[in-house]
């Protein structure tokens, strides 16, 4: 990993787990089913690179996959272990490890999987394309690779400066930024929903990924190191490595993660 000062994602995920409900777990599972276009993962091996809270590892486990989770952040590892203990009774079919997506030897030691999943993680390593390449090395032939990467937009350089400022600030400044940006995004999303004749209060109560607004905002403004890519860049990167695109969900020209599902041929 990069030696730059980085956001401690795991502490944010541990706070999120305090409000984790069966309803959120169900929405997370539904979003994974929709993205992979499956209703079961029975007989499949699944690795979650950058498991964070462990929520999507849990979703794969609930779909009957044999799951391996790892994260660089020690607090994320503990969060994933907590999720496994509370919601999967420490089942031996779910393994949790600490590891570095940029460590070639570690990646090699993991072996190959039917499904390699890394949602919103590899752009925070400090060397995104090396991490993307290493993730591809874990995929079996005819296996599936799922990645979600921040979209490049006009404001990308500004957001990078905001994130770097946040991680280098003291506790008080961080809290002020967290509350300010939560209010900023909440108002913006409220206005957008009203203009589109949607109920704004359903946005996060019905969130398909089972997340929460505050957790997402802190994750966004604190997410440093920070890199981005266009959908075309990710498509060509993996095409050159023998992958075919099976599903893609983009944010258009907006802020957020583009999601990709590739098949290794």
The reply to whether 2 falls in a domain is no
Concatenate the DSSP letters of all residues of 244-258 into one string. Answer: EEEEEE--TTSSSEE
Q: What is the pLDDT of residues 182-230, one digit of tens each?
A: 998 888 877 877 777 777 666 655 454 555 778 888 989 999 999 999 9
Which residues are CB-contacts of 27 (< 8 A; sequence separation ≥ 6)?
206, 207, 208, 209, 210
Verify that 137 and 214 share a domain, yes or no.
Answer: no
Q: How far apart are CA 28 and CA 12, in angstroms?
A: 18
pLDDT (mean) for 77-101:
98
Number of domains in the chain: 2
Verify that 100 and 35 share a domain, yes or no.
Answer: yes
For residue 182, how far is the Cα from the chain centroid?
Answer: 19
Verify that 142 and 185 share a domain, yes or no.
Answer: no
How far apart are the two ends of the chain, measured CA to CA in Å? Answer: 29
Verify that 110 and 205 share a domain, yes or no.
Answer: no
Buried b (16+ CB within 10 A) or exposed e, 184-197: ebbeeeeeeeeeee
Helix/strand/coil percentages in the chain, nearest 5: 50, 20, 35
Q: What is the pLDDT of residues 151-185, one digit of tens each?
A: 999 999 999 999 999 999 999 999 999 999 999 88
Q: How far apart are CA 238 and CA 4, in angstroms?
A: 27
Q: Which residue has the higher pLDDT, 15 or 43?
A: 43
The reply to whether 126 falls in a domain is yes
Q: How far apart are CA 133 and CA 111, in angstroms?
A: 15
Q: What is the pLDDT of residues 207-219, one digit of tens each?
A: 545 557 788 889 8
Q: Is 167 helix (H, G, I), strand (E, B) or coil?
A: helix
pLDDT at site 201 = 64
The reply to whether 105 falls in a domain is yes
Verify that 146 and 45 share a domain, yes or no.
Answer: yes
pLDDT, mean over the chain:
92
Total-model pTM: 0.90
Which of 191, 183, 204, 174 shows the shortest CA–CA distance to 23? 204
pLDDT at site 133 = 98
Phi and psi at 238, nearest 5°, equal: -85, -30
Verify that 27 and 126 share a domain, yes or no.
Answer: yes
pLDDT of residue 1 exceeding 70, the answer is no
Verify that 72 and 138 share a domain, yes or no.
Answer: yes
Verify that 121 and 231 share a domain, yes or no.
Answer: yes
Q: How confident is the model at residue 250 (pLDDT cuts 50, 70, 90)?
A: very high
Domain span at residue 50 reads 9-152+227-264
Verify that 85 and 196 share a domain, yes or no.
Answer: no
Q: How far apart are CA 187 and CA 179, in angstroms?
A: 12
**Is it true that the peptide bond before 256 is cis, omega within 30 degrees of 0?**
no
Q: Write the burial class of residue 81 (CB in 10 Å: 0-12 exposed, 13-18 middle, 19+ buried).
A: middle
């Amino acid at each position: 990993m990069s030696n730059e000062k980085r956001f401690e994602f795991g502490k944010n995920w541990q706070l999120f787990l305090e409000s984790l409900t069966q309803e959120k777990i169900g929405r997370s599972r539904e979003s994974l089913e929709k993205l992979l276009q499956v209703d079961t993962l029975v007989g499949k091996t699944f690795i979650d690179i950058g498991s964070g809270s462990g929520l999507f590892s849990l979703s794969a486990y609930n779909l009957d996959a044999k799951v391996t989770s790892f994260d660089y952040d020690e607090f994320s590892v503990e969060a994933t272990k907590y999720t496994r203990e509370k919601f999967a009774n420490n089942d031996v079919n779910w393994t949790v490890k600490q590891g570095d997506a940029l460590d070639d030897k570690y990646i090699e030691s993991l072996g190959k999987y039917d499904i390699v999943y890394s949602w919103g993680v590899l752009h925070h390593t400090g060397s995104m394309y090396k991490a993307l390449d290493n993730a591809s090395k874990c995929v079996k032939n005819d296996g599936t690779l799922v990645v979600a990467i921040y979209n490049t937009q006009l404001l990308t350089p500004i957001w990078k400066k905001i994130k770097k400022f946040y991680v280098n600030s003291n506790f008080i400044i961080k809290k002020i930024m967290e509350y300010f940006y939560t209010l900023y995004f909440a108002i913006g999303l409220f206005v957008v929903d009203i203009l589109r004749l949607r109920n704004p209060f359903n946005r996060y109560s019905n969130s398909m990924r089972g997340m929460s607004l505050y957790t997402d905002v802190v994750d966004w403004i604190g997410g440093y190191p920070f890199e981005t890519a266009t959908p075309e860049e990710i498509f060509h990167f993996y095409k050159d490595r023998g992958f075919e695109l099976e599903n893609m969900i983009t944010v258009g020209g907006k802020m957020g993660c583009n999601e990709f599902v590739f098949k290794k041929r």
